[in-house]
Amino acid sequence: MTETGFPSAASLQALAGTCPVTVASGKHKRVIFRHACDAEFCQIAQQWARCSLRKSVWAVAYWQQVRPRCASDHDAYRRLANRWLAVLWKLWQRREPYNEAYHLQQRRLRSQPLA
């Protein structure tokens, strides 16, 4: 286990209930979101996602891409929070502060679109 207590970004996302879970049985498969989570942490992560739309270029671009495919705003905030938690975990491991310019540069280097 890492110093943060979370061995991977997925473990942090699972605690917050933001990561999708695949439920499969026979020929049927569907993706749902986790209900067994820390509800307060889930609320905080989604509030962070909402607030990030005021300041983060990539968060706005991601929101605009994903919102039309979501059933609700709540679902889209949860997906954005999932992305933010992955970024947070990486920064936590490196002991670095967030830098939007660096994040955008890394996304361009990996030839990923903003969203």
For residue 2, tell me if it sits in a domain. no
Check if the beta carbon of residue 84 is closer than 8 Å to that of residue 49. yes
Structure tokens at 106: 């890394």
How many domains is the chain built from? 1
For residue 114, tell me if it sits in a domain. no
Check if the beta carbon of residue 98 is closer than 8 Å to that of residue 92. no
What per-residue string of b and e applies to 75-97 under the rule 16 or more CB within 10 Å gives b?
A: ebbbbbbbbbbbebbeebeeeee
Which candidate, 88, 82, 93, places its Cα nearest to that of 103? Answer: 88
Domain ranges, residue 98: 9-109
Question: What pTM value is reported for the model?
Answer: 0.79
Q: Tell me how far apart the alpha carbons of residues 78 and 71 are, in angstroms, rounded to a whole number.
A: 12
Per-residue pLDDT of the chain (115 residues; tens, 9 = 90+): 445 578 888 888 888 888 777 778 888 777 666 667 778 888 999 999 999 999 999 999 999 999 999 888 988 999 999 999 999 999 999 999 999 998 888 878 876 555 5
For residue 48, tell me if it sits in a domain. yes
